[in-house]
């Protein structure tokens, strides 16, 4: 940085008298730096930097009875959000038809299961039904919904009520008491 | 030592923080939301937040202080209660709260420090969403009466149980609110994932 030469200008001169010393123009910055960092610390601690994001959730209108065509069980993958962050899913069969219950974890395992099953269904007929049980946490629900976004599953539903058949199925096959 | 450069840096950072920062509001509940890959930002204004903490207690809050007072007036009229100016002012300053309407008056008459110490029991909800003792539906209804533009955000704790979330969900559905936002943290999508 440019500095003003504030030196005495060559020291003593031959004449014998001493020039009056000029005051230095340099300011001690230390207190100002202290203050600056103090304020930075305050702002870091008192504020939130990243704004949280949000996912939109649309639920069906309860007041209107919509006529919908029944979905074939062979196109449906029903995932039950069980306890201890485990997922039990059935695919291609209704709960009454003695389907195979597969248990997977969240994240990659679930994603792979959804993608594999989606490939078995022709066209865009693939439907995922997410059924959180009472053992599931809110995080499990959000993770499952997020997985729909990741796998780009267009048709999915969040259903919060378990059928008696399904309760029985989970009890018999994976020993999950509901 | 020459402090000029350091001073420059300090104030540059300070300016950056002042300009980008948003102050943390005083929340009644400590809620740690789960993460999602969704990149939609939560709107800045006209927002109603329903928070759900780890124990399943429900907290409610809206963003605008004037609307908070209008909402309290609506509730007071609907429930046959009255609040004085001091209580209204205290209410307007609360970002979120979780007390039943019956206890609200005594809760508001406490001074600030005492109020912070009170363990809030949460707003009563039920599984049908339309029962008389469900007070969340009254708050939602009266908040929307105070500001019809309000959008609804649900902020749940990662470890709250699903049935608690379901109660909130059915309360909203019973009010014919079928579209809302779930507030989540941000998480990076898996490698190679594109949004289309």
CB B184 to CB A137 under 8 A?
no
Strand partners, B35: B185
pLDDT at A52: 74
How many H-runs (helices) and E-runs (strands) does chain A carry? 4, 7
Which residues on B lie below 8 Å from A48 (Cβ)? 21-24
pLDDT in tens, A56-104: 888 777 666 666 667 777 788 888 888 888 888 888 777 777 788 888 8
pLDDT at A11: 47
Residues 6+ positions from A116 with CB-CB distance below 8 Å: none
For residue B23, list its beta bridge partners: A47
Would the CB atoms of B11 and A138 count as touching at under 8 Å?
A: no
Correct CATH for A73-174 of 1.10.1740, 3.90.1750, 3.30.70, 3.30.420: 3.30.420
Going by pLDDT thresholds of 50, 70 and 90, the confidence category of residue A4 is low
Distance between A16 CA and the closest CA of chain B, angstroms:
34
CA distance B195 to B156: 25
Residue B97: the pLDDT is 83
Q: How far is A161 from chain B (nearest CA, A)?
A: 10
Rounded Cα distance between B117 and B94, Å, is: 14
Which member of B10, B33, B161 has the closest CB to residue A40?
B10
Tokens 């009563």 -> residue = B124
DSSP classification of residue A75 = G
Contacts 24+ apart (CB under 8 A), B147-151: B147/B46, B147/B62, B147/B64, B147/B67, B147/B70, B149/B46, B150/B46, B150/B47, B150/B48, B150/B62, B150/B67, B151/B43, B151/B46, B151/B47, B151/B48, B151/B180, B151/B181
Q: How far is A178 from chain B (nearest CA, A)?
A: 12
- In chain A, what residues touch B183 (CB-CB under 8 Å)? 52-54
> Is B3's CB within 8 Å of A33's CB?
yes
CB contact under 8 A, A28 and B189: no
Question: Are the beta carbons of A55 and B40 separated by less than 8 Å?
Answer: yes
Q: What is the pLDDT of residue A149?
A: 84
Over residues A41-49, mean pLDDT: 78
Nearest to B22 among A28, A47, A134 (CB): A47
pLDDT band at A3 (very low <50, low <70, confident <90, very high): low
Summarised one tens digit per residue, pLDDT across range B132-191 is 778 888 888 888 888 888 888 888 888 888 888 888 888 888 888 888 888 888 888 887
Which residues in chain A are closer than 8 Å to B172, comparing Cβ atoms?
59
pLDDT in tens, A101-155: 888 888 888 888 888 888 888 877 888 888 888 888 888 888 888 888 888 888 8
DSSP helix/strand/coil, B125: coil
Residue of B nearest to A49 (CA): B21
Distances (CA, A) of B24 to A130, B50, B127: 35, 17, 32
Q: Does B58 touch chain A (CB under 8 A)?
A: no
Q: Which of A106, A97, A98 is nearest to A132 (CA)?
A: A106
Asked if B13 has any chain A CB less than 8 Å from its own CB, the reply is: yes
Task: Compute the distance between CA of residue B29 and CA of residue A45 in angstroms, rounded to an integer.
Answer: 19
Q: What is the mean pLDDT of residues A10-25?
A: 64
The residue of chain B with its CA nearest to that of A64 is B176
A13 pLDDT tier (thresholds 50, 70, 90): very low
Per residue in B63-80, pLDDT tens? 888 888 888 888 888 888
Q: List the single residue in A with minimal CA-CA distance to B173.
A: A62
Helix (H, G, I), strand (E, B) or coil at A48: strand
Whole-number average pLDDT of chain B: 82
Please give, rounded to a whole number of angstroms, the shortest distance from the CA of B81 to a CA of chain A: 31
| Predicted confidence (pLDDT) at residue A5 exceeds the cutoff of 70 | no
């Amino acid at each position: 940085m440019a500095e003003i030469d504030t030196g005495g200008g060559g020291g003593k001169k031959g004449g014998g008298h001493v020039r009056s010393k000029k005051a230095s123009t340099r300011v001690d910055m230390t207190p100002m730096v202290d203050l600056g960092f103090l304020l930075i610390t305050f702002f870091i601690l008192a504020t939130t930097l990243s704004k949280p994001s949000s996912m939109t959730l649309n639920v069906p209108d309860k007041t209107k009875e919509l006529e919908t065509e029944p979905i074939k069980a062979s196109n449906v993958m029903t995932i039950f959000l069980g306890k201890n962050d485990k997922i039990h899913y059935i695919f291609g069969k209704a709960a009454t038809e003695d389907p195979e219950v597969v248990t997977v974890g969240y994240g990659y395992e679930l994603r792979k299961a959804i993608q594999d099953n989606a490939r078995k269904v022709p066209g865009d007929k693939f439907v995922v039904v997410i059924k959180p049980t009472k053992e599931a946490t809110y995080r499990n629900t959000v993770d499952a919904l997020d997985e729909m976004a990741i796998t780009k599953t267009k048709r999915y539903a969040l259903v919060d009520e378990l059928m008696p058949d399904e309760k029985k199925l989970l009890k018999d096959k994976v020993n999950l008491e509901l | 030592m020459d402090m000029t450069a350091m001073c420059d840096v300090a104030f540059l950072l300070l300016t950056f923080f002042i300009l980008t920062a948003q102050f943390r509001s005083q929340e009644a509940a400590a809620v740690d939301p789960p993460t999602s890959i969704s990149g939609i930002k939560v709107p800045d204004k006209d927002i109603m937040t329903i928070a759900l903490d780890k124990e399943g207690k429900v907290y409610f809050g809206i963003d605008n202080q004037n609307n908070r007072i209008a909402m309290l007036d609506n509730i007071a009229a609907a429930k046959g209660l009255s609040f004085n100016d001091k209580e209204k002012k205290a209410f307007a300053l609360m970002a979120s709260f979780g007390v039943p309407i019956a206890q609200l008056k005594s809760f508001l008459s406490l001074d600030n420090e005492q109020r912070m110490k009170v363990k809030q029991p949460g707003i009563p909800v039920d599984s049908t969403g339309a029962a008389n003792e469900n007070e969340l539906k009254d708050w939602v209804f009266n908040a929307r009466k105070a500001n019809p533009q309000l959008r609804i955000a649900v902020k749940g704790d990662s470890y709250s149980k699903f049935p608690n979330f379901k109660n909130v969900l059915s309360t909203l559905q019973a009010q014919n609110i079928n579209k809302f936002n779930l507030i989540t943290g941000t998480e990076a999508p898996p490698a190679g994932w594109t949004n289309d």
